[in-house]
Each structure stands twice: as structure tokens, then as C-alpha cells.
Amino acid sequence: MLLQKLPSLITSVLLGVRVVLFQSLEGHANADDVLSDILASVWAALVNVVVFLLCALLGYFLGIEASNAAFGESALQELAQHYPISELMRLCIRTAVEASGLGWLGHLDKLILSRAKEAPSRSATRLLWLMVIWILSVEATDSYINWLIRGAI
């Protein structure tokens, strides 16, 4: 679980909060920067996933090394041998899809959904709910597709 769904979920939730916070600070909308919003979200998400995975592996290594001296390196090698690279690719693709959707939702909210006289808290709450729904739908779709592939094999 630590190297499967958790990195994309944590990254997407933090990215969603970041988009909402910057959205409320930015205020006005520019219609020309939808691609830059999406690319910035994808870049930030992929960097966060890499940092998450490095920290998780470091914690795994240090935890095993602390409890069983000299077994940390062998545990990491065992993990590397049994962790399929397809899972890592799936994680990166899922995170990129979630991040691009979050960037697009942030841009959509700036242009269409927000009104000038609307309370910022109402706009932020709506955007957070849309982002949570997006994240959960991508995760559920990924799980369903993975279940179909595993069932076919």
C-alpha cells in the first residue's frame, strides 16, 4: 500500500489544497494560461511523488536497519526484486492524470464557476469538493482497470 495508492493520494490532496490556496490569493483570472496551470500541477505532483517514494524507502531502510542491524540493504534489494516496474509506471500515470485534472479544475473555477461577489470560503469549499471527487474517481477508475487486467490474465 505504501508504494501503490498512498503516494498519489497524498500528493493529489496536497496539490489540491495548494491550488485552492493559490487560487484564493491570486484573485483574477487569465484565460490564456490553462496549459501552464495544468503543466505546473503535473510537474509539482511528479516531484512530490519522487520525494515521497525516496522518503518512504529511506524510512523503510532505516526502520529495518534499526531493528535488525545489517539487514536493511538486503530488505531493500528484496523489495526491488519483487516490486514490479509496471506499478511505478501506473503510479506516475495516475498521479499525472490526477494533477492535470486538478490544474484544469482550478482554471475552470477561476473562469466559470467563481463570481465576483461570491465569498472566497464558498468558492474554496466548492473547489475542494470538486477536487476530492476528481481524485476519488481517478483512483476508483484505476482500481477498476487494474482489476479487469488482473482478471484477464
Q: Are 99 and 46 in contact (CB under 8 A)?
A: yes
Query: Which is higher by pLDDT, 27 or 23?
Result: 23
pLDDT digits (tens, 9 = 90+) for 116-147: 677 777 878 888 899 999 999 999 999 899 88
pTM for this prediction: 0.81
pLDDT digits (tens, 9 = 90+) for 37-95: 888 889 999 999 999 888 888 888 888 888 877 777 777 788 778 778 888 888 899 99
Q: Are 100 and 12 in contact (CB under 8 A)?
A: no
3-class DSSP assignment, residue 86? helix
